[in-house]
């Protein structure tokens, strides 16, 4: 099933490549750009040499294994963490240079779907989706009702509007969170693992919804995911993250045809290759093990 | 020497941590006051919290007030009757409740009932990324989540203390007048004559407002700074009860000395 619409034919697209300092699809109005970005927490560097560009109307997938730093990229895009080096630009503004008001203004133009949904547990389903409208707009109650029910209808949960968050399943909660992320019809939507925990039907519908919404609103969508099949079906461009950096990027077709060992191992789920299954050994682990063994 | 120097270092770290914590606590109060405009723009958010914190605490406050009133009636009668002053029972019950027991016991119960629920709610909101989600939605969680809860607690606490005192007086009347047989006219007349609106009632209200600010702020601070884990939230709720209760008792002594010192 291919949900992509009005996209460049595969034959005209560039082949997948190892990441260098380039921007694969330059666009004067890029919504989100990473330029030579280094990200980390405390003393720990998570990602280096991150270069990416997301344009309006594009669905871009950021892929990589668990713990590869995908969510860190999302946190950098929302201004939750600052780049140690390089610049992250959202709607043309360097996010590191924004004051509190500037950051709020930028965030009002983006929607974020959190990995666990992050629904407000003191509000019911309807009020969760209505939350951004109540906080950022002055629209009437009847308009709020109409817009919220419309978005809930899009995720198949119109008739669950009255339920409390405790009464819905994990998969439903993620769909409600998706409705909340798009209710203001933002220019950039960041989806953190949008397909995790969804049943096959919801998964297909969610993928199509992301694609349709991106095309209809001409917004940009960034999918943080490791679901190859669904994300490749809707993405215009894919960036692959691993080994502390961005390893490859290209169109889904180009990456599928890639001979790169990392790309092949990840896409085919092979046990052997450059991606190690085992967590790397460290002096801290050996020190702990010595202490543990010496303990009575 | 090593254990001694380690103990000194530890004492220093604890002192430094306490000072930093106190500074952050006072900064939080300043921030909440500075961002309180939302209380006037969206009063519904505060009334929701008054309902949540106040109405849901009403039963425990009323039942506790009744039993405290019963005990005051019994103990008061026992003591006063030794000096032949049973007719002062109404005054003793009313003064004890309005000046002292009403604000203090209500604040202790409030810390245990409403304070812990506030701390757990805020802590779990952090653990469930709800606070982060709000920030990313360009909504200030301090203004949207903490400010309405703060003012909800500050408003609910004096009302609950008044309910406690009122029910306590009824409890004292039930035991003193209905069960023991103190003259009802003297019971109420002594109370009416001896309780001063400013010196006793107003000072009691001031105490309950101060306790409301203190307990609510401690509960919010504990939740806001809780580690986003089950253990972290559990520790934070315990901290709310312990620090909230100690703060109420300590402040009660200071306020009593200031108000009734002469």
Q: B129: nearest CA in chain A?
A: A118
pLDDT tens digits for B107-147?
999 999 999 999 999 999 999 889 999 999 999 999 999 99
Judge contact between B172 and B89, C-beta under 8 A: yes
Which of A107, A114, A122 minimises the CB distance to B138?
A: A107
Q: A100: nearest CA in chain B?
A: B138
Q: Please check whether residue B229 lies inside any domain of the structure.
A: yes
Q: Please check whether residue B23 lies inside any domain of the structure.
A: no
Which contacts (CB < 8 Å, 24+ apart) does range A170-174 have?
A170/A117, A170/A197, A171/A197, A171/A198, A171/A199, A171/A202, A173/A116, A173/A117, A173/A119, A174/A113, A174/A117, A174/A198
**Global pTM?**
0.83
CB contact under 8 A, B128 and A121: yes
At residue A203, the pLDDT reads 84
Q: Please check whether residue B5 lies inside any domain of the structure.
A: no
How close B25 comes to chain A (CA, Å)? Answer: 22
Q: Please check whether residue B16 lies inside any domain of the structure.
A: no
Q: Please check whether residue B149 lies inside any domain of the structure.
A: yes
Domains parsed from chain A with CATH numbers? 10-109+186-294 (3.40.50.300), 128-185 (no CATH)
Which of A105, A119, A132 minimises the CB distance to B137?
A: A132
pLDDT tens digits for B175-226?
999 999 999 999 999 999 999 988 899 999 999 999 999 999 999 999 999 9
Q: Please check whether residue B125 lies inside any domain of the structure.
A: yes
Indicate the number of domains in chain B.
1
Q: Which domain holds residue B148?
A: 35-260
At residue A213, the pLDDT reads 83
pLDDT tens digits for A32-53?
999 999 998 877 888 888 899 9
ipTM over 0.85? The verdict is no
């Amino acid at each position: 099933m291919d949900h992509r619409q009005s996209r460049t034919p595969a034959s005209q697209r560039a082949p997948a490549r190892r990441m260098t300092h380039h921007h694969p699809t330059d666009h004067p109005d890029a919504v989100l750009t990473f330029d030579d970005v280094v990200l980390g927490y405390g003393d720990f560097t998570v990602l280096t040499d991150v270069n990416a560009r997301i344009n309006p109307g594009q669905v871009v997938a950021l892929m990589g294994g668990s713990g590869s730093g995908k969510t860190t990229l999302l946190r950098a895009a929302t201004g939750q963490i600052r780049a140690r080096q390089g610049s992250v630009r959202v709607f043309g503004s360097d996010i590191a240079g924004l004051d509190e008001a500037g950051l709020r203004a930028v965030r009002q133009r983006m929607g974020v779907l959190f990995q666990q949904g992050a629904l407000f547990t003191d509000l019911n389903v309807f009020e969760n989706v209505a939350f951004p409208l109540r906080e950022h707009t002055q629209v009437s109650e009847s308009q709020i009702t109409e817009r919220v029910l419309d978005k809930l209808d899009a995720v198949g949960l119109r008739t669950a509007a009255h339920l409390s968050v405790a009464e819905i399943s994990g998969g439903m909660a993620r769909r409600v969170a998706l409705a909340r992320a798009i209710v203001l019809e933002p220019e950039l939507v960041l989806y953190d693992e949008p397909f995790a925990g969804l049943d096959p039907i919801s998964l297909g519908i969610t993928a199509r919804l992301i694609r349709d919404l991106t095309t209809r609103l001409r917004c940009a969508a960034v999918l943080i995911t490791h679901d190859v099949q669904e994300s490749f079906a809707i993405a215009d461009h894919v960036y692959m993250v691993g080994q502390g950096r961005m390893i490859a990027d290209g169109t889904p077709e180009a990456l599928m045809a890639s001979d790169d060992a990392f790309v092949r191992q990840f896409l085919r789920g092979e046990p052997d290759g450059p991606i190690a299954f085992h967590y790397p050994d460290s002096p801290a682990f050996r020190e702990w093990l010595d202490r543990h063994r010496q303990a009575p | 020497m090593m254990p001694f120097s380690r103990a000194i270092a530890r004492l220093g770290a604890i002192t430094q941590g306490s000072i930093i914590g106190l500074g952050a606590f006072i900064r939080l109060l300043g921030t909440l006051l500075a961002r309180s405009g939302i209380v006037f723009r969206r009063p519904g958010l505060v009334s929701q919290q008054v309902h949540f914190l106040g109405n849901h605490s009403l039963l425990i406050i009323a039942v506790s007030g009744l039993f405290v009133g019963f005990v005051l009636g019994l103990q008061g009668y026992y003591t006063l009757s030794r000096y032949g002053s049973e007719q002062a029972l109404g005054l003793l019950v009313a003064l004890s409740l309005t000046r002292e027991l009403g604000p203090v016991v209500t604040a202790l119960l409030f810390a245990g009932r409403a304070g812990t629920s506030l701390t757990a709610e805020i802590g779990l909101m952090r653990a469930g990324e709800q606070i982060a989600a709000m920030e990313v939605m360009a909504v200030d969680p301090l203004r949207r989540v903490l400010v309405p809860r703060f003012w909800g607690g500050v408003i609910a606490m004096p009302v609950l203390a008044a309910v406690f005192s009122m029910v306590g007086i009824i409890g004292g009347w039930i035991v003193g007048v209905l069960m023991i047989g103190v003259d009802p006219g003297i019971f109420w007349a002594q109370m009416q004559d001896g309780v001063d609106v400013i010196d006793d009632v107003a000072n009691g209200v001031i105490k309950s407002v101060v306790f409301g600010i203190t307990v609510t702020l401690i509960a919010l601070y504990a939740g806001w700074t809780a580690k986003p884990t089950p253990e972290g939230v559990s520790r934070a709720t315990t901290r709310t009860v312990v620090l909230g209760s100690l703060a109420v008792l300590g402040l009660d002594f200071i306020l009593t000395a200031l108000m009734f010192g002469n």
